[in-house]
A and B are shown apart, each in its own frame.
Chain A
Amino acid sequence: MVSGSRVASVAGTQGRVARFNAPRAARVEANASGFPVEVNHQTVAFLREEWRVVDRWWTEEPIIRRYFELVLESGENTVVFHDSTGGGWFTQRGA
């Protein structure tokens, strides 16, 4: 596979194993209810789905994410999540 992703290029340049579909930081504007209204300067046209992932709660690095599947104004489909433990918004493929 030839990967164009940042993670892949990190894996490539360092010649080591990397995670596939690793989250990428994204610039997301959310409204008062926490729903994204803009992703990477593109307005959200439609919210298709929302779900939560809570995992590894038994470890010192639990995962608590709120995922949104969105359709942007350009027609692009994207999945973003808000990381409730460390804070911040990320886009992710394969979710």
Chain B
Amino acid sequence: MIACVSIPGLELKAALRRTPTLALRPAALAPEPQGEPLIGPITAAAEALGVRPGMRLGEALATCPALALVEPDAAGAEQAWEEIVRALEDAGFAVDPASSGVAYFETRGVERLYGGLEPALKRALAAVGTEWDARIGAAGRRFAALAAASVARPGQVVVVADEELPQFLAPLPLTLLPLERNRYEELESLGVRKLGQLAGLPGGAIAERLGPDGRRAWSLARGGTAARVRGRRPPAAVYASLEFPEAIGNELALRRALTGLVDKALARPERRDRFVRKLALAARLETGGSWRRTLTLREPSADSERIRVALAPRLAELPGPVVELRLELVELTESSGQQLELLAAGAEDRTRLREGLRQVRASTGSGSVCTVVEVAPWSRVPESRALLVPKDE
């Protein structure tokens, strides 16, 4: 069985940890500073008053004037998600985090450990904790597990057997499918609103009308393909942070801080001389929110200058003054050595060519291998432009 842990509105829940009283009032995650003015996840109180996630900010405030906007805390949400995934891993599950708030794992390896499927899934819920309102769906296929998790209530486990899958999926909404917004609208205009209706259409017609994405969605509506879930490689926990006595927005000062952070992170003993493959730069903003960017280096490196040059342009993306800057070495190489080239690039080709020419010379005699030397490339007489010079070595 494949299980899917789902925590809807994780970003909002993470942001609300700073102001827990808002959780009981109508509140929504504020739009991203440079993004479209669309609100994020909302609280149950806001939903009761008619606010919907993804609404335009103006519309949401018109619907519910008392709506409180919560500053997004991207770094906090990511950190919280990482803690949840680690808690699941500590409980023995090989987790594949698909996105923030959604993770998959196979139960086969742990069913015997916990005494069956249901106890194993309950153990997973316990590992996540009650504060996140997690829910778990389990089925033979990945998409079906996600669909099962989407109908489960907080703290509930829903298991769908293979034989019940078509009946289970049929009444579920199309929004479960990974489609673009205009595709949903297109399908709705055709009268297709449920997974069962989509699954009942001919695959060829769907592919023709909606392209490869539509075909994939059609396949998912029929349960999706059977594929195994591979657990992730847990990221390295090497980081360095710098807290400023007062908020700074000056890029020069931030660059200096970054230089210090890179050196500090690389000097951490947990790195154990390994090279850095992937990094994350996070900041706590003066406004209370947070900011985070990840970066994968073109090739693993432990060169502080190189890492600093790669990270520096990200500082320009900071939306405001920061009170804390944090550098995480997210992924490190396994080895601490780096294989250098014994021969320069192309050296092998040249060696082989030289060997081949020696062979030709040996079979046809001295002077059979020549070099073309240009002497008068401007000449109108072709044979005057270049000479053949014997090349005996």
Q: What's the Cα separation between A55 and B370 when bound, in Å?
A: 28
Q: Are B381 and A1 in contact (CB under 8 A)?
A: no
If the complex has contacts A2-B357, A3-B388, A17-B389, are A12 and B365 also in contact, measured as CB distance less than 8 A? yes
Q: Are A8 and B385 in contact (CB under 8 A)?
A: no
Contact with A along B132-151 (1 / 0, CB 8 A): 00000000000000000000
- Asked if B364 CB lies within 8 Å of chain A CBs, one says yes
If the complex has contacts A2-B360, A11-B390, are A94 and B385 also in contact, measured as CB distance less than 8 A? yes
If the complex has contacts A2-B360, A11-B388, A12-B390, are A19 and B368 also in contact, measured as CB distance less than 8 A? no
Name, among A11, A63, A93, the residue most crowded by chain B CB atoms within 10 Å (CB to CB): A11
Contact with B along A48-73 (1 / 0, CB 8 A): 00000101100000010000000000
Contact with B along A1-38 (1 / 0, CB 8 A): 11100011101111111111111000000000000000
Q: Are B368 and A55 in contact (CB under 8 A)?
A: no
Q: What's the Cα separation between A94 and B370 when bound, in Å?
A: 17
Chain B residues, CB < 8 A from A55: 379-381
- Asked if A92 CB lies within 8 Å of chain B CBs, one says yes
Q: What's the Cα separation between A84 and B313 when bound, in Å?
A: 70
Q: Are A17 and B368 in contact (CB under 8 A)?
A: no
Q: Are A20 and B360 in contact (CB under 8 A)?
A: no
- Asked if B387 CB lies within 8 Å of chain A CBs, one says yes
- Asked if B250 CB lies within 8 Å of chain A CBs, one says no
- Asked if B384 CB lies within 8 Å of chain A CBs, one says yes
Name, among B367, B379, B384, B385, the residue most crowded by chain A CB atoms within 10 Å (CB to CB): B367
Q: Are B368 and A23 in contact (CB under 8 A)?
A: no
Q: Are B382 and A92 in contact (CB under 8 A)?
A: yes
Chain B residues, CB < 8 A from A93: 382
Closest to A81 in B: B382
Q: Are A53 and B381 in contact (CB under 8 A)?
A: yes
Closest to B387 in A: A17
If the complex has contacts A8-B370, A12-B364, are A21 and B382 also in contact, measured as CB distance less than 8 A? yes
Chain B residues, CB < 8 A from A17: 387-390
Chain A residues, CB < 8 A from B360: 2
Q: Are A11 and B383 in contact (CB under 8 A)?
A: no
- Asked if B386 CB lies within 8 Å of chain A CBs, one says yes
- Asked if B369 CB lies within 8 Å of chain A CBs, one says yes
User: Pick the contact of A13 from B365, B379, B384 — CB < 8 Å?
Assistant: B365
Q: Are A16 and B390 in contact (CB under 8 A)?
A: yes
Interface residues on chain B, number (Cβ under 8 Å): 24
Interface residues on chain A, number (Cβ under 8 Å): 27
Q: Are B383 and A21 in contact (CB under 8 A)?
A: yes
Contact with A along B349-377 (1 / 0, CB 8 A): 00000000100100011111111100000
Q: What's the Cα separation between A18 and B365 when bound, in Å?
A: 17
Closest to A67 in B: B382
Contact with A along B162-199 (1 / 0, CB 8 A): 00000000000000000000000000000000000000
- Asked if A95 CB lies within 8 Å of chain B CBs, one says yes
Q: Are A63 and B381 in contact (CB under 8 A)?
A: yes
User: Pick the contact of B367 from A1, A12, A63, A95 — CB < 8 Å?
Assistant: A12
Q: What's the Cα separation between A21 and B365 when bound, in Å?
A: 22
Chain A residues, CB < 8 A from B386: 19-21
Q: What's the Cα separation between A21 and B392 when bound, in Å?
A: 21
Chain B residues, CB < 8 A from A92: 382-383
Q: Are B387 and A94 in contact (CB under 8 A)?
A: no
Q: What's the Cα separation between A58 and B40 when bound, in Å?
A: 88
User: Pick the contact of A21 from B357, B385, B389 — CB < 8 Å?
Assistant: B385
Interface residues of B (CB under 8 A from A): 357, 360, 364-372, 379-390, 392
Q: Can you list 24 A-B contacts with CB-CB less than 8 angstroms, sorted by A residue number? A: A1-B372, A2-B357, A2-B369, A3-B388, A7-B388, A11-B370, A12-B365, A13-B367, A13-B368, A15-B367, A16-B390, A17-B390, A18-B370, A18-B387, A18-B388, A19-B388, A20-B372, A21-B385, A21-B386, A22-B383, A55-B380, A56-B381, A92-B382, A94-B382
Interface residues of A (CB under 8 A from B): 1-3, 7-9, 11-23, 53, 55-56, 63, 92-95
Q: Closest 4 CB pairs between A and B? A: A12-B367, A12-B368, A20-B386, A15-B367
Given contacts A19-B388, A20-B387, 10 further A-B contacts (CB under 8 A): A1-B370, A11-B390, A12-B367, A15-B392, A16-B367, A18-B370, A19-B387, A20-B386, A20-B388, A53-B381
